Amino acid sequence: MTRHTRRQLRLGLLFISPWIVGFVTFGLYPIAMALYYSFNDYDVLRDPVWVGTLNYRDMFTDDVFWKALWNTLVYAVFSVPLGLVLSLLVAVLLNREIVGRSVFRTLFYIPAIVPLVAVGMVWLWMFNGDLGLVNYLLGLVGIEGPQWFADASWTKPMLVLSSMWQIGGSMVLCLAALQDVPRSLYESADLDGAGPAAQFWNVTVPMVSPVLYFNLIIGIIGAIQEFVKPFVMLPDGGPDRSGYLFAVYIYESAFRYNNMGYACAMAVVLFFMIVVLTWMANRMVSSRVYYAAE
Label residue 187 by pLDDT band (50, 70, 90).
Answer: confident
Percent of the chain with pLDDT over 70: 99
Amino acid sitting at position 59: M
Domain boundaries, the chain: 63-288
pLDDT of residue 294: 54
Q: DSSP letters along 237-283, please? A: GSGGGTT--HHHHHHHHHHTS--HHHHHHHHHHHHHHHHHHHHHHHH
pLDDT of residue 214: 93
> Which pLDDT band holds residue 269 (cuts at 50, 70, 90)?
very high
Q: Is the pLDDT of residue 293 over 70?
A: no
Strand partners, 50: 40
CB of 21 within 8 A of CB of 31?
A: no
pLDDT tens for each residue of 202-228: 888 888 999 999 999 999 999 999 999
Predicted pLDDT of residue 131: 83
Percent of the chain with pLDDT over 90: 45
Mind listing the pLDDT tens digit for each residue in 115-140? 888 888 888 888 888 888 888 888 88
Spell out the long-range contacts of 157-162 with Cβ–Cβ below 8 A and sequence spacing 24 or more: 158/123, 158/127, 158/233, 158/243, 159/75, 159/79, 159/226, 159/229, 159/230, 159/233, 159/234, 159/243, 159/245, 160/75, 160/78, 160/79, 160/82, 162/119, 162/120, 162/123, 162/229, 162/233
Q: What is the pLDDT of residue 218?
A: 93
Residue 170, burial from CB neighbour count under 10 angstroms (0-12, 13-18, 19+)? buried
**pLDDT on residue 53:** 92
> What is the reported pLDDT for 292?
64
- pTM to 2 decimals? 0.89
Determine the pLDDT at residue 165: 86
H-helix or E-strand spanning residue 50: strand 49-50
User: For the structural domain made of 63-288, what CATH number should be given?
Assistant: 1.10.3720.10
| Position 48 pLDDT exceeds 80 | yes
For the chain, what is the mean pLDDT?
89
CA atoms within 13 A on the CB side of 16: 8
> Mean pLDDT, to the nearest integer, of 142-170?
88
